[in-house]
Amino acid sequence: MIVSVVNKKGGVGKTPFAFSIAKDLGCFLQSNDNSIIERIYPEKAKILPTPKKIDNCVYDFGGFVEKGVLDIIKESNKIIIPCTSNYNSLLRTLETLNEIGNDNRICILVTDYRDEKEKNQICETLESNFTDLNLFFFKFSKIIENSMSSGASFTELYNENNLSRLSYTNFFNEYQRLLDFIRKDK
């Protein structure tokens, strides 16, 4: 199974989502963007300017200019595009959908919003340009930062104790729905 997490806009959460998905599915992780993944996911994570196509791998792609990146995206079983309310992030998301074409392998993570109004604004922008989008919703959560600083996946953080299960309930339920989508007809 090959999964690509893409958005040319930085700071939308590609690396935390890619890392957590890779760890929870026991996959390798490759990125063409600098981050701490090689330290928090030793043996399995590699940062390479030119990614190598291998099986059972989650790719964290910051840009598609490098040779081979678009090829891997096109051959992916699932393509995950995190999108925040940031204007550039929305623009890049629409650009990416136009570039690779919207199909049922693609899903958008509507993420990092603070309230329903902000969430609805992101959805309206996306849905006025594309119909039949697979959308997942991740309201702002400390789990993103905690995952990167601790090297624990979202599942590991959720299962840490009763308090974490309480604080991360909504995020984790949606994350499980995302993992199900990724595992489906791979």
Ligand X SMILES: Nc1ncnc2c1ncn2[C@@H]1O[C@H](COP(=O)(O)OP(=O)(O)O)[C@@H](O)[C@H]1O
Positions that interact with Mg ion (CB under 5 A): 14-15, 33, 35
38 binds, among Mg ion, ligand X, none (CB under 5 to 8 A by kind): none
Give the per-residue SS3 of the chain.
CEEEEECCCCCCCHHHHHHHHHHHHCCEEEECCCCCHHHHCCCCEEECCCCCCCCCEEEEECCCCCCCHHHHHHHCCEEEEEECCCHHHHHHHHHHHHHHCCCCCEEEEEEEECCHHHHHHHHHHHHCCCCCCCEEEEECCCHHHHHHHHCCCHHHHHCCCHHHHHHCHHHHHHHHHHHHHHHCCC
| CB closer to ligand X, 95 vs 104 | 95
What residues from 102 to 131 belong to the interface with ligand X (CB under 6 A)? 111-112
- Residue of 4, 6, 8, 16 interacting with ligand X (CB under 6 A): 16
- Residue of 14, 23, 92, 105 interacting with ligand X (CB under 6 A): 14
CB of 178 to ligand X, least distance (A): 12
- Residue of 41, 64, 138, 158 interacting with ligand X (CB under 6 A): 138
Under the criterion CB under 6 A, does residue 10 sit at the interface with ligand X? yes
CB of 169 to Mg ion, least distance (A): 26
CB of 84 to ligand X, least distance (A): 6
| CB closer to ligand X, 11 vs 183 | 11
- Residue of 4, 13, 37, 41 interacting with ligand X (CB under 6 A): 13
Q: Which residues, other chains included, contact 157 with Cβ-Cβ below 8 Å and sequence gap of 6+? A: 143, 146, 147, 150, 164, 168
Contact residues: ligand X, CB under 6 A: 10-16, 35, 84, 111-112, 138, 140-141, 144
